[in-house]
Structure 1
């Protein structure tokens, strides 16, 4: 880490080429107006040699950091040995090695029995395949989803996504889903699963028995609202009683983000289908899995396919990343770092209780929810100027979200939190002495 972390650097028109040649659909580069050239674990460096602490981790695709050396060495070796890089869904030694390691390291120790499907390289591919197999298994079509959910941007997954802005980009009517209130949506005293149960029991409710229910245990894009174990167990019970498949979308919350490999491990539920992507690729490489209970694996050969299911570099990286889960070392580090983050955010929420509604989240995805939504964006802008990458979350972008690599160095984590404390002071109290000193360099 260099001594100039925290300095503000102004570069004239660093994105000229991107503004001129790239589609208007680009988004993150509008928030982070610089050109990045290097990354190492939780640090990014831009073209002007300014470093940034990464509290974003590729939206959860870089749980093991940028250019993780343990994973990188395996990729280099594989490439130098002329390993197969692309294979559609043909058998390769890289895929075989991943399947065996995933079985032995992840599924068997947790007592889970799933067939592994490679649906395509992204989270939305996994969700689309989950919907299709649920409909095929049950013979029903409707999917129950929840307020403020985010499940992807292709039409099927977008139909289960709550955000009005994202839904508006579809260009067609979105159908095949029914939205119900997520845990806590109607306040802490209301068990919203009771509404689902009542609707299913009443033949006059207008809700046909769905093929599946899809849910995030913690809503990453929806504002870091978390479902309780009790609520999830009630949801699973209702699904079982009515022959509904339960889908857990662990695209962002899986691979250790909430503290355990799967986000649902501590709840006692066993989903019928699990969607994984983002950090399952280990190195930021595109990869997704759909985990299906064997009795539901009713696909006909080729009934769901995609050209990039056979990304063998992702298989190699994923196998190397799973080494982190062979013992409890990483999980223990996540627990320790999570508590550091939680203690800090609770302290900030208490200090600025007139401005901050609460701290939210779990594990190493936590944040601050602001009374004025625009304050979250203002804070993230200040953090970028000081050398920290953060993004907002929630239906009104009212949450400033911290999502560093799970492997972040403790010194960098603490430095980033110090900069966040100074930025909050600047936001609400004017320029703090510490921030003024940092701005001078």
Structure 2
């Protein structure tokens, strides 16, 4: 096969905006579990999991069975917000398995197919409910690429693509952004002082773990103090759990460990369980002030995603076995990363099955990612300068394969440091 000819079409017709294909220059033809296969037959161990959209792996057979059965019986695929059997099953299962057991009396909104749709709806609703325009957001945050979501995103290069001013947002320092300075004290001072220049916000939007921002972890005490402060000032708390929800940190929601009760929650990525688009914005019942059609979209009734999401909830969240497995695998990952950190003076951060390591030399991380691809391992980088090696394998990965991937990672770290040493 002339693979050169087969890849030329991407350069000829696809926009220059594409990115992951530059990091991993292979044409993939098959995916199963934790493995991607390229058209030349080479297999790649996936520690990327669709940027967190594949917590249960590629083509999970238990989900695929339900999806194929639904398609073969001519189940409804597209329905906007009409009532369907698939939507009813999803909503009922979401309530039975996730919401009610956690005491969350949320209304569920289907705002559109992707995570940024969920964030846009959350921001619009917070402003609609409170009548305020300002929103608090954190340094290093990432919430999406549409204009409202981009306004609350911190990354400079992503914001630069907007082409218009990104306003009505006040930026505050995330946990440990200022070293040992308590950033909640700083936020409290701004909110308590009428001369701080901070307009009273409608909401604050939060990632408990800043994934794209470099695997920055907020501690539970910090999160609880933040929530208490917001409640005192009657500011809504929006938790963006798009990448680190659906079990990525162990429990279904990343905020459960801190005993938070957000006013609004955004979910997407692994919510469908199968990599097909699905997002929801959930909020306290009394916040449901929407009028019919006030926020809509053509693809907010994606029934194929309802089918796989229902199957995933039934398969993995009716007991705590997956949460326990994430805990075991997290310990394995952390052990390897801390060993590398001791050897190279690096920093390790992570919770559950989202972990990262930052080395003293920032350019090492991209070299590690490149070396990993050459060895058949997919790992990406994160952080403002791509300085963090980020590990987000499927939650369902075999423990032997997890160990094999970590072994490959160790080899890549050693090689990258040798390359940097030779170059200097």
Segments of 5+ residues of structure 1 without an aligned counterpart are: 1-10, 432-441
Secondary structure in structure 2 of the residue aligned to 1:310: coil
Q: CA RMSD in A?
A: 1.3
- Partner of residue 397, structure 2: 408
TM normalised by structure 2 equals 0.97
More displaced 10-residue stretch of structure 1: 189-198 or 401-410: 189-198
- Partner of residue 439, structure 1: none
* Residues 208 and 239 in structure 2, CA contact (< 8 A), matched pair in contact too: yes
* Residues 344 and 359 in structure 2, CA contact (< 8 A), matched pair in contact too: no
- Cα distance in structure 2, aligned partners of 1:429 and 1:35: 30
1:259 to 250, 257, 260: 250
1:319 aligns with 2:310: yes
The 5 Å alignment of 1:302-317 reads 302-317=293-308
1:64 aligns with 2:32: no
- Cα distance in structure 1, aligned partners of 2:370 and 2:149: 30
- Cα distance in structure 2, aligned partners of 1:430 and 1:401: 20
- Partner of residue 84, structure 1: 76
- Cα distance in structure 1, aligned partners of 2:70 and 2:259: 39
- Cα distance in structure 1, aligned partners of 2:227 and 2:384: 26
- The C-alpha deviation readout for 1:250-269, integer Å capped at 9, x for no partner, is 00010001111000001011
The 5 Å alignment of 1:208-247 reads 208-247=199-238
- Cα distance in structure 2, aligned partners of 1:178 and 1:54: 37
The 5 Å alignment of 1:278-317 reads 278-317=269-308
- Cα distance in structure 2, aligned partners of 1:429 and 1:222: 27
Segments of 5+ residues of structure 2 without an aligned counterpart are: none
User: What is the Cα deviation at residue 190 of structure 1?
Assistant: 1.7
* Residues 392 and 400 in structure 1, CA contact (< 8 A), matched pair in contact too: yes
- Cα distance in structure 1, aligned partners of 2:373 and 2:7: 16
1:21 aligns with 2:21: no
- Cα distance in structure 1, aligned partners of 2:406 and 2:28: 22
TM normalised by structure 1 equals 0.93
- Cα distance in structure 1, aligned partners of 2:63 and 2:358: 35
- The C-alpha deviation readout for 1:340-386, integer Å capped at 9, x for no partner, is 00111011111111xx2x01111111011122221100000000000
Secondary structure in structure 2 of the residue aligned to 1:67: coil
* Residues 159 and 174 in structure 1, CA contact (< 8 A), matched pair in contact too: yes
Count of residue pairs the alignment pairs up: 418
- Partner of residue 387, structure 1: 376
Secondary structure in structure 1 of the residue aligned to 2:363: helix
* Residues 390 and 402 in structure 1, CA contact (< 8 A), matched pair in contact too: yes
- Cα distance in structure 2, aligned partners of 1:298 and 1:339: 44
- Partner of residue 185, structure 2: 194
More displaced 10-residue stretch of structure 1: 93-102 or 409-418: 409-418
* Residues 353 and 391 in structure 2, CA contact (< 8 A), matched pair in contact too: yes
- Cα distance in structure 2, aligned partners of 1:13 and 1:232: 52
User: What is the Cα deviation at residue 427 of structure 1?
Assistant: 2.0
- Cα distance in structure 2, aligned partners of 1:241 and 1:417: 45
Secondary structure in structure 2 of the residue aligned to 1:99: helix
* Residues 220 and 252 in structure 1, CA contact (< 8 A), matched pair in contact too: yes
- Partner of residue 333, structure 1: 325
- The C-alpha deviation readout for 1:170-216, integer Å capped at 9, x for no partner, is 011110101000000011x2210111111111111111110000010
User: What is the Cα deviation at residue 14 of structure 1?
Assistant: 6.0
* Residues 364 and 417 in structure 2, CA contact (< 8 A), matched pair in contact too: no
